A and B are shown apart, each in its own frame.
Chain A
Amino acid sequence: GNSVTQMEGPVTLSEEAFLTINCTYTATGYPSLFWYVQYPGEGLQLLLKATKADDKGSNKGFEATYRKETTSFHLEKGSVQVSDSAVYFCALSDRSGFQKLVFGTGTRLLVSP
């Protein structure tokens, strides 16, 4: 079946550091890939998405590239801020039948001033 594997957290960084959160997936066919972010006490919000191989999704300084050859969709940001502290979820949606999101377990990011 489909699955998503994320690096365990928490990831602790100082402000302005470079961020990478790893995400790999297992799926039949060519899924769409998503990163969602959850701020404390809130629901999940879509951060970015990519729908085919080599696509790069980007938003708010975050980027992720759909790598079919390595089945990966790693999240990166060049300079994190305290306000980026949140839990980040990688997810996929396959294209067979009724597409349902499959989520990774989430990675907590803590950014200190």
Chain B
Amino acid sequence: NAGVTQTPKFQVLKTGQSMTLQCAQDMNHNSMYWYRQDPGMGLRLIYYSASEGTTDKGEVPNGYNVSRLNKREFSLRLESAAPSQTSVYFCASSEDQVISNQPQHFGDGTRLSIL
């Protein structure tokens, strides 16, 4: 009963290093999302993928890239990490977000610290 799986759970990077956060879902969902969660700011959408083969920018895309590798997997890459990217990152998926009342299912998050 995995749902949405994120790896790693924790990571510490130095400024300028690169890293890829992995996300996979086993619910056969079409749409996937990456959010960051910062104190007092709720969740903010970084990138999303409406369906396999498509990706689009969300509210805060600067400094990030994404890849929708296949229907199951959606990765988030930091090319040159900055301290401002210290955050908790959540991946989510939904059956089809064209239908507005579909809930999103979330992973347990990746806690990322940039020194």
**Do these two chains interact?**
yes
- Which residue of chain B lies nearest to A51 when distances are taken between CB atoms in the complex? B101
The answer to whether the Cβ of B4 comes within 8 Å of any Cβ in the partner chain is yes
Residues of B within 8 A of A94 (CB): 100
- Which residue of chain B lies nearest to A105 when distances are taken between CB atoms in the complex? B42
Candidate in B42, B45, B56, B109 with the most chain A CB atoms within 10 angstroms: B42
Q: How many residues of A contact B (CB 8 A)?
A: 25
* A43 and B103 form a contact (CB under 8 A): no
A-B contact pairs, 12 of them (CB 8 A): A32-B100, A43-B92, A43-B109, A44-B90, A44-B106, A46-B103, A98-B97, A100-B48, A101-B104, A103-B44, A105-B40, A105-B41
Binding site for B on A (CB under 8 A): 4, 31-32, 34, 36, 41-46, 49, 51, 89, 93-95, 98-101, 103-106
A36 vs B105: C-alpha distance when bound (angstroms): 10
* A100 and B45 form a contact (CB under 8 A): yes
* A98 and B56 form a contact (CB under 8 A): yes
Range class of the B interface residue count: 20 to 34
Contact of A103 among B4, B43, B50, B99 (CB under 8 A): B43
Give the Cβ gap from B89 to chain A, nearest Cβ, in Å: 11
A98 vs B96: C-alpha distance when bound (angstroms): 10
Residues of B within 8 A of A44 (CB): 43, 90, 92, 104, 106
* A89 and B50 form a contact (CB under 8 A): no
If A43-B108, A93-B100, A98-B56 touch, whether A103 touches B42 (CB-CB below 8 Å) is yes
Give the Cβ gap from A29 to chain B, nearest Cβ, in Å: 10
- Which residue of chain A lies nearest to B54 when distances are taken between CB atoms in the complex? A98
Residues of A within 8 A of B2 (CB): none
